[in-house]
A and B are shown apart, each in its own frame.
Chain A
Amino acid sequence: MARRDFSVSALPGFGTIAVIAFVLLYAPIVTMVIYSFNDSESVALWGGFSTRWYAAAWENTQVQEATIRSLIIAVSAALIATTVATMAALGTTRRGKFKGQTIIYIMINQPLMVPEIVTAVALLIFFAAIKVATGIQGLGYLILAHSAFCVPFAYLPIRARLEGMDMTLETAAADLYASPWQTFRRITLPLLAPGIAAGAMLSFVISLDDVIITEFVKSAGQDTLPTYMLGQLRRAVTPEVNAISTALLVLTVLLLTAFFLLTRRRG
């Protein structure tokens, strides 16, 4: 019999490094969460437990406005990106390969490949010209930019869901004289719903997190939560930023948990 401590997949030291890696990944985040409850004015010294920085952030009108702006942009971008991504996913899967499919893939995934700073600069130039020419300001530019870079994040989970779906149900519906629209509405869409929800959630998180493109595209007074936080950092870091970060972190974890429950394969 083989020695008990000899497992073929065991490599010496790997477990230790992995555990250290997890500690390193979480130590900074946990520290930040703990210090968001710090009563002290200073970020470095512990002055007792308090939720005062949460209260301060909650009552800060700039934070309120930035939060509402972030949510408007993220919800709009998630809706737009998910709608166009669902259509594109339906058009590019399960029909057999066609000419130009690769071009569509590349175009849809382009935001994942081009460095964000380059897209940000490109949008700055483009929108600056439009703003000068038309005089139109407003959140539209940010929503448009966010919708565009969210498309691949919406597309990928929807496409994955479609590829794993059984086509026989749709064939059966068609055999039973359902019109293509009826088949789509009653069979395809309900089966696809978890993929669409997952795509929408990822888009929402990605939009909510964006710093670079927002920083370049926004007009004066159009700060989102991340760009507000980045701006705060130019002065001194207050524990208020820690409180906002912790709140965003909790939101992300909640959405992620929902995402995993939605996409988890059954059986």
Chain B
Amino acid sequence: MARSSPARTGWLLSTPALILLFIGALGPLAIVVVYAFLEPGEYSGVVWNFSTEAWFRVFFERDIFDDTVSMADAHLTIFWRSVKLSLLTTFITFVIGFPTAWFIATRPPTQRAIWLFLITIPFWTNLLIRTFAIMEVVRNQGLLNSFLMWTGVIGRPLQILYTDTAVLIGMAYVYLPLMVLPLFAAIDRFDFKLIEAGYDLYASRTKVLRRVILPIVRPGIVAGSILVFVPSLGAYVTPRILGGGKNMMIGNFIELQFGQGRNWPLGAALSLILLLIVLVALIAYVRVTSNDGGRDGQT
């Protein structure tokens, strides 16, 4: 029997999946690129005239009366809030996630599976449900305020819901498993004899953590950070529910352009900027992890 080449069979068998992804995801992205260079229609949609106005409007605004150009402060505020909250979310999930992953990885093998399962349940639970749950916690009569009043830290409930803090708490909560899982994978492969060697050579605990553990599990740290940062930056559900109408992030701002804003080209341009930031982060990730592969090849 004539054996077909692996490449031909490979492509042939992958074709249905590729067609599906092309129609349902990849192809429409190309249309977004086109729309970002058109003029907005009066009510919705676009007018088929080439224009770079949408890109201009992302960063600048024209005064309606005298046509002077100024920075679009509202847009920049939204960008800054998105980046800031995403970075903070990444940081918080790391600070809580690293000890958690370490704890799971150092359990006896039989217990480990159970702890891991406990992390995966929230991970696979509907994001909307988890956001609802956290909403109940941060509301005025919620768990968090009740707890703080019980301990006497505050005298009256704090308004947390519909603030940036609520969005931050919510995102840290929903994305924590995304940080713990890759960290666990990295720590699980870690050779604990190296720590022993470090102590034998009179290194302090902090030194062992900083000079032995952290460098070796770095690919896991980078992977976890990317997995948290990317969806945080594009978050839509969490800021919409916990941030209310005012505390928008890029995702909500994009949606606004396709709803009340009625400016599809601007929405398309904003989507492409978001995509671009994500791609830069992913390329940085590939760079960092492939470098690590070369350097820590033996471990």
Tell me the residues in window 246-265 of chain A with beta carbons closer than 8 Å to chain B beta carbons: 248-249, 252-253, 256, 260
Mask of B219-258 contacts with A, CB within 8 angstroms, 1/0: 0000000000011011011001100000000110011001
User: CA A113 – CA B281 in complex, angstroms?
Assistant: 10
Surface stretch bound by A, among B51-59, B61-69, B72-80, B125-133: B125-133
Mask of B116-145 contacts with A, CB within 8 angstroms, 1/0: 011111101111111011111101011100
8 Å CB contact of A18 from B12, B100, B231, B267: B100
Q: How far is the CB of B107 from chain A (nearest CB, A)?
A: 10
Surface stretch bound by B, among A27-35, A60-68, A163-171: A27-35
Closest residue of chain A to B10 (Cβ to Cβ) is A91
- Answer whether residue A134 sits at the interface, using C-beta atoms and an 8 A cutoff: no
Mask of B255-299 contacts with A, CB within 8 angstroms, 1/0: 100100000100110011011001100100000000000000000
Q: How far is the CB of A216 from chain B (nearest CB, A)?
A: 8
Q: How far is the CB of A172 from chain B (nearest CB, A)?
A: 17
**A123 and B132 contacting across the interface, CB-CB below 8 Å:** no
**B128 and A9 contacting across the interface, CB-CB below 8 Å:** no
In the complex with contacts A18-B103, A91-B10, A245-B129, A84-B28 CB distance below 8 A: no
Mask of A1-41 contacts with B, CB within 8 angstroms, 1/0: 00000001111111101111110111111011001000000
- Answer whether residue A85 sits at the interface, using C-beta atoms and an 8 A cutoff: yes
Task: Please name all residues of chain A whose beta carbon is closer than 8 Å to the beta carbon of B126 when the two chains form the complex.
Answer: 208-209, 226, 245, 248-249, 252
Q: How far is the CB of A44 from chain B (nearest CB, A)?
A: 4
User: CA A205 – CA B199 in complex, angstroms?
Assistant: 46
**A114 and B29 contacting across the interface, CB-CB below 8 Å:** yes
In the complex with contacts A110-B26, A117-B254, A11-B10 CB distance below 8 A: no
**B31 and A90 contacting across the interface, CB-CB below 8 Å:** no
**B127 and A211 contacting across the interface, CB-CB below 8 Å:** yes
8 Å CB contact of B17 from A20, A108, A117: A108
8 Å CB contact of B24 from A44, A96, A147, A216: A147
**B241 and A110 contacting across the interface, CB-CB below 8 Å:** no
**B122 and A90 contacting across the interface, CB-CB below 8 Å:** no
- Answer whether residue A100 sits at the interface, using C-beta atoms and an 8 A cutoff: yes
Mask of A50-76 contacts with B, CB within 8 angstroms, 1/0: 000000000000000000000000000
In the complex with contacts A104-B18, A121-B32, A149-B24, A44-B99 CB distance below 8 A: no
Q: How far is the CB of B60 from chain A (nearest CB, A)?
A: 22
- What's the interface size class on A, roughly? 35 or more
Q: How far is the CB of A9 from chain B (nearest CB, A)?
A: 4
Task: Please name all residues of chain A whose beta carbon is closer than 8 Å to the beta carbon of B31 when the two chains form the complex.
Answer: 122, 125-126, 129
Task: Please name all residues of chain B whose beta carbon is closer than 8 Å to the beta carbon of A149 when the two chains form the complex.
Answer: 24-25
**B26 and A107 contacting across the interface, CB-CB below 8 Å:** yes
In the complex with contacts A17-B100, A84-B17, A260-B237 CB distance below 8 A: no
Q: How far is the CB of B171 from chain A (nearest CB, A)?
A: 14
Task: Please name all residues of chain A whose beta carbon is closer than 8 Å to the beta carbon of B195 when the two chains form the complex.
Answer: 8-9
User: CA A81 – CA B142 in complex, angstroms?
Assistant: 41
**B230 and A115 contacting across the interface, CB-CB below 8 Å:** yes
Task: Please name all residues of chain B whose beta carbon is closer than 8 Å to the beta carbon of A19 when the two chains form the complex.
Answer: 103
User: CA A8 – CA B102 in complex, angstroms?
Assistant: 12
Q: How far is the CB of A127 from chain B (nearest CB, A)?
A: 8
Task: Please name all residues of chain A whose beta carbon is closer than 8 Å to the beta carbon of B40 when the two chains form the complex.
Answer: none
Tell me the residues in window 65-103 of chain A with beta carbons closer than 8 Å to chain B beta carbons: 80-81, 83-85, 87-88, 90-92, 95-96, 98-101
Closest residue of chain A to B199 (Cβ to Cβ) is A8
User: CA A103 – CA B279 in complex, angstroms?
Assistant: 16
Q: How far is the CB of B1 from chain A (nearest CB, A)?
A: 8
User: CA A81 – CA B133 in complex, angstroms?
Assistant: 30
8 Å CB contact of A98 from B10, B25, B274: B10
User: CA A19 – CA B103 in complex, angstroms?
Assistant: 9
**B271 and A113 contacting across the interface, CB-CB below 8 Å:** no
8 Å CB contact of B196 from A8, A15, A110: A8
**B103 and A148 contacting across the interface, CB-CB below 8 Å:** no
Tell me the residues in window 1-46 of chain B with beta carbons closer than 8 Å to chain A beta carbons: 1, 5-7, 9-14, 16-18, 20-29, 31-32, 35, 45
Mask of A222-255 contacts with B, CB within 8 angstroms, 1/0: 0000100110010001000110010011001100
A-B contacts, 30 of them at CB < 8 A, read: A9-B102, A13-B99, A17-B100, A17-B103, A19-B103, A21-B180, A22-B118, A26-B118, A28-B137, A88-B16, A91-B10, A91-B14, A98-B10, A100-B10, A104-B11, A108-B18, A113-B278, A114-B275, A115-B275, A117-B234, A122-B29, A122-B271, A125-B35, A148-B20, A151-B20, A209-B126, A249-B125, A249-B129, A252-B121, A256-B120
Q: Given A28-B137, A115-B234, A145-B25, 20 more contacts at CB 8 Å? A: A25-B118, A25-B173, A28-B133, A29-B122, A29-B133, A31-B137, A32-B136, A44-B141, A83-B16, A88-B17, A90-B13, A108-B21, A114-B29, A119-B29, A125-B32, A125-B268, A151-B20, A230-B241, A252-B121, A252-B126
Q: Mark A residues whose CB is within 8 Å of B.
A: 8-15, 17-22, 24-29, 31-32, 35, 43-45, 80-81, 83-85, 87-88, 90-92, 95-96, 98-101, 104, 107-108, 110-111, 113-119, 121-126, 128-129, 144-145, 147-149, 151, 155, 180, 205, 208-209, 211-212, 216, 226, 229-230, 233, 237, 241-242, 245, 248-249, 252-253, 256, 260
